[in-house]
Chains A and B, each alone.
Chain A
Amino acid sequence: EAQVTQNPRYLITVTGKKLTVTCSQNMNHEYMSWYRQDPGLGLRQIYYSMNVEVTDKGDVPEGYKVSRKEKRNFPLILESPSPNQTSLYFCASSLRSGGTNTGELFFGEGSRLTVL
């Protein structure tokens, strides 16, 4: 089954304790992205990756890191989490747009993070 898998789905942590949210897709997609969803603000892009070893900042990258060492994986790293990073996080992937590919995003189920 084609899917984007995120882990953990739920996490409560404390300020300053490093954490990683993993994301894996099995569709051989070139493009992967992380979003955070906050009430009233919709989805805001954190980082994205067009391919292996190619990453770039989205609209709200502060406090986050990513890496793309393999095509299928795109982990989100919070080196020193703070309470303002409490949010619902989504990983998404798609084929690279162009030609007949229009780049519809496939989303993971979300990871709800609470930083105390």
Chain B
Amino acid sequence: AQSVAQPEDQVNVAEGNPLTVKCTYSVSGNPYLFWYVQYPNRGLQFLLKYITGDNLVKGSYGFEAEFNKSQTSFHLKKPSALVSDSALYFCAVRETNAGNMLTFGGGTRLMVKP
């Protein structure tokens, strides 16, 4: 079975500071990992994914994520937060042989204050 944990319900950061949103996963095989963002009253939007290769993945809006196999983590990062980054962020995982079956974490609300 595959699962995802996002240990923080909310992350607060000041504008201009670096941000990290944490995600850990559990799969029995190799993982495909995804980050999605949800702005108020909108659907989820794809941010980035890790499939294979370089452990540092770059995505939309200046976000990046680091895959760490030994720690089974896929933390989302951004060097300098913007107020407009405030949103709900979801980490998702699926095993490489699990078809399209994505499992989502509970979500982390990011609040960036001016």
The answer to whether A107 and B44 have CB atoms under 8 Å apart is: yes
Mostly helix, strand, loop or mixed at chain A's interface? strand
A89 CB to nearest chain B CB (Å)? 11
Question: Would A42 and B32 be within 8 Å (CB), given that A50-B99, A97-B100, A105-B44 are in contact?
Answer: no
* Residues of chain A having any CB pair with chain B under 8 Å: 4, 31, 33, 35, 40-45, 48, 50, 90, 92, 94, 96-97, 102-110
Asked if B83 is at the interface (CB within 8 A of a chain A CB), the reply is: no
Total CB contacts across the A-B interface at under 8 A = 60
CA distance A107 to B102 in the complex (A): 13
Report B's interface with A, CB cutoff 8 A: 6, 9, 32, 34, 36, 41-46, 49, 51, 90, 94, 99-102, 104-107
Query: Which residues of B sit under 8 angstroms from A102, Cβ to Cβ?
Result: 32, 49, 51
Across the interface, do A41 and B43 meet the contact criterion of CB distance under 8 Å?
no
Taking a contact as CB atoms under 8 Å apart, the answer to whether B106 and A42 are in contact is yes
Our pick among A40, A42, A94, A104 for the contact of B90 (Cβ within 8 Å) is A42
Q: For A31, what are the chain B residues with a Cβ–Cβ distance below 8 Å?
A: 99-100
Per the bound structure, the CA–CA distance linking A64 and B101 in Å amounts to 19
Please indicate the chain A residues that have their CB under 8 angstroms from the CB of B51 in the complex: 102
**B43 touching A107, Cβ below 8 Å:** yes
Q: Would you give the shortest CB distance from A31 to chain B, in whole angstroms?
A: 4
Contact at A40–B42, with CB atoms within 8 Å?
no
Question: Given that A105-B44, A107-B43 are contacting pairs, would A94 and B106 also be in contact in the complex, using a CB cutoff of 8 Å?
Answer: no
For A108, the chain B residues whose CB sits under 8 A away are 43
Other-chain residue from B44, B100, B104 in contact with A103 (beta carbon distance below 8 A): B100
A90-B44 contact, Cβ under 8 Å, with A31-B100, A97-B100: yes
